[in-house]
């Protein structure tokens, strides 16, 4: 997919143009930058034209398009970051990619959680089970796995990346150049997490596209039919509004909905349900709701604070 370009014409001197080009490349704003000026290059009225290639973030309109693009790019040995909010379907997409690479007979390793260099090493071990690394040091094991990847390229799918150490960055840089394609999957819910992801500067970023409201409505109604539940139109709209294009959020919501604490006199409390769904996605388990089946998430959270 060709990178979009934006032409920006500004009044700058030749020296300012050169400094701007260096800063743009240094901060990762663009990968391609061409400039030209007319005049003697000394007066402030020099007309400069910047041609900026916006290649730091790749946008896709559908999940199917994203899956095909990631399959091609990572299969060629590129390093990419797939980011998006929790429950947006990133893990499901990574599982589909893993199945496609296995069907294509491409060495591929999948890590459910990634927080250290040993997680990446174990992922490469699953991609090359024929490499004998039993009883050797981890550095020797990584050297043998790197040699195997140099002979035959592999793909590493690193899901739920939480920590990035200097050793991880250095080892992943050694895998560049077509040795191994790497897909980092990061949960980004707030702007602070997005800024933290940008500061790592691991690779090119790919945003997980949201699912359309029509598809979410079909998913919600099908799950309600499985549990023999019926929702009023305004409650359905409130749940879909809180989902924000995340199918995993809807699935988790339907897992909690049959519990009696969200119903009173046959009527659903969607606000409490949406709050507990968001807490469950952030915590990863139903631990906050487990102590008392009739207590709300706010009551249990308060008891956790006093503990």
pLDDT tens sequence across 183-207: 999 999 888 888 887 777 788 888 8
63 beta partners: none
pLDDT digits (tens, 9 = 90+) for 285-299: 555 444 444 444 444
Q: Is the Cβ–Cβ distance between 106 and 152 less than 8 Å?
A: no
Q: Is the Cβ–Cβ distance between 63 and 245 less than 8 Å?
A: no
Q: For the structural domain made of 57-207, what CATH number should be given?
A: 3.40.50.300
Q: Which residue has the tokens 């994203």?
A: 66
Q: For residue 58, what pLDDT band results from cuts at 50, 70 and 90?
A: low
3-state secondary structure of 187: strand
**CA pair distance 208, 185, nearest whole angstrom:** 10
Of the given ranges (11-20, 42-51, 121-130, 159-168), which has the lowest mean pLDDT?
42-51
Q: In this structure, what token pair is assigned to residue 218?
A: 């079909």
pLDDT digits (tens, 9 = 90+) for 135-186: 899 999 999 999 999 999 999 999 999 888 999 999 999 999 889 999 999 9
Predicted local distance difference test score (pLDDT) of residue 202:
81
pLDDT digits (tens, 9 = 90+) for 101-147: 999 999 999 999 999 999 999 999 999 999 998 889 999 999 999 99
What residues does each domain of the chain span?
A: 5-53, 57-207, 213-306
Q: CB neighbours of 22 closer than 8 A, spacing ≥ 6?
A: none
pLDDT above 90 covers a percentage of the chain that reads 53
Please tell me which of 23-27, 87-91, 202-206 the model is most confident about, judged by mean pLDDT: 87-91
Q: Is the Cβ–Cβ distance between 246 and 85 less than 8 Å?
A: yes
């Amino acid at each position: 997919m060709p990178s979009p370009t934006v032409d920006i014409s500004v009044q700058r001197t030749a020296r300012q143009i050169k400094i701007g080009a260096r800063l743009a490349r240094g901060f990762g704003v663009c990968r391609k930058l061409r400039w030209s000026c007319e005049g003697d290059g000394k007066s402030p009225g020099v007309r400069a034209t910047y041609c900026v290639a916006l290649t730091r973030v790749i946008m896709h309109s559908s999940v199917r398009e994203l899956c095909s693009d990631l399959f091609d790019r990572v299969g060629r040995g590129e390093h990419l970051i797939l980011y998006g909010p929790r429950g947006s379907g990133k893990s499901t997409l990574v599982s589909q990619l893993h199945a496609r690479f296995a069907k294509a007979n491409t060495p591929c390793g999948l890590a459910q959680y990634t927080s250290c260099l040993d997680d990446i090493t174990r992922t490469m071990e699953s991609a090359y089970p024929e490499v004998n690394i039993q009883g050797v040091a981890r550095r020797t094991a990584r050297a043998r796995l790197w040699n195997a990847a140099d002979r035959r390229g592999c793909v590493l799918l690193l899901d739920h990346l939480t920590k990035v150490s200097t050793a991880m960055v250095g080892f992943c840089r050694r895998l560049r150049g077509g040795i191994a394609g790497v897909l980092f999957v990061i949960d980004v819910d707030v702007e602070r997490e997005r800024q933290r992801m940008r500061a790592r500067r691991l690779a090119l970023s790919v945003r997980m596209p949201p699912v359309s409201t029509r598809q979410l409505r079909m998913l919600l109604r099908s799950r309600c039919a499985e549990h023999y539940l019926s929702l009023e139109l305004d409650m359905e709209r409130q749940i879909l509004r809180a989902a924000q294009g995340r199918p995993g959020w809807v699935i988790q919501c339907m897992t909690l909905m049959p519990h009696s604490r969200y119903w009173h006199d046959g009527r659903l409390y969607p606000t409490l349900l949406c709050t507990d769904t968001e807490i469950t996605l952030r915590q990863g388990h139903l631990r906050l709701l487990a102590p008392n089946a009739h207590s709300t998430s706010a009551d249990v959270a308060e008891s956790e604070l006093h503990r």
